[in-house]
Amino acid sequence: MISWYDRTNMTLVALIISILVGSALSFIGGLLLLRVKKRRDLAILLTLPFGAGALLAAAFFDLLPEAFELGEPRELLLWTLGGFTFFFVLERCASWFHHHHEHELKAHQNVQQRRLIIIGDIMHNAIDGLAIGAAFLVSIPTGVITAIAVSAHEIPKELGTFALLLSRGWKNKTVLLANVATALATIITALFVYFLGTDAHLPVGPLLALTAGFFIYVAASDIIPDIHEQPRRMGTIQAAMLVGGIALVGYVITLLGV
């Protein structure tokens, strides 16, 4: 019989390892990006839709079903809609939330752009940490699945951040250090939510529903429209990557019995 203390420690270790593995993969991807400059845009084009598929699978196969077990579905769907709407308003009011529009700014604004990109990365990673911490309050498998989905989206996003910072004049070493520093936001917020939840009994159901709304928004309004804007061949490949992300993460969720 595993005691509450041992179970808490196991969950905490799993949470930290999941985040560290995802951050390490992003870091390795960044290193590879520095070596393969000519193919970085193609790598980002192919991995972003896969990440979107992973987010959708996590939302519909894992987070929402788990949330519905913890509360009334109609109320929780309102939380999901609230999460979707909140991040829509956030994107409209704060240009730092998504980075792929930064290239439209003028060249002489490099310093301001770098600051904007870093602030956006920290906030985005903090939100990822909130999602992961809330998921681990439910169970280790739910937390791991959420971490996988976040990583699948985060890795190509970080590749895009690497490319933007390099194009704005930062050296390779500075970009790598910035990646490590901003990644700390994920583990800090995840630990904060997890410890707060274990002590104060946070409303885990609404948190999971809110996270699902965030995942759906990022995939449906940020990445999928970009697929439609691509030439037919690339758009078809990206669509296949998105479906592949849904299928793979959905299969993993089913396999784990989450």
Torsion angle (degrees, nearest 10) of CA 103, 166, 224, 55: -140
Tokens 């070493």 map to which residue?
173
Q: What pLDDT, on a 0 to 100 scale, did the predictor assign at position 160? A: 64
- What is the C-alpha separation between 258 and 253, in angstroms, rounded? 6
Which of 50, 54, 37, 63 minimizes the C-alpha distance to 204?
63
Q: What pLDDT, on a 0 to 100 scale, did the predictor assign at position 73? A: 92
Per-residue confidence of the chain (258 residues) as pLDDT tens digits?
555 455 677 888 889 898 888 888 777 776 776 676 666 667 777 777 887 888 888 889 888 998 898 889 999 999 999 989 987 887 676 554 444 444 444 444 556 656 666 776 787 788 888 888 888 988 888 888 888 888 877 776 666 666 667 666 677 778 778 878 888 888 999 998 888 876 667 787 888 898 889 888 888 876 788 788 888 888 899 899 899 989 988 888 787 665
Q: What pLDDT, on a 0 to 100 scale, did the predictor assign at position 97? A: 44
Number of domains in the chain: 1
What does residue 99 show for φ and ψ, rounded to 5 degrees? -95, -15
Domain range for 64 is 4-256
- What is the C-alpha separation between 186 and 125, in angstroms, rounded? 5
Q: What pLDDT, on a 0 to 100 scale, did the predictor assign at position 43? A: 72
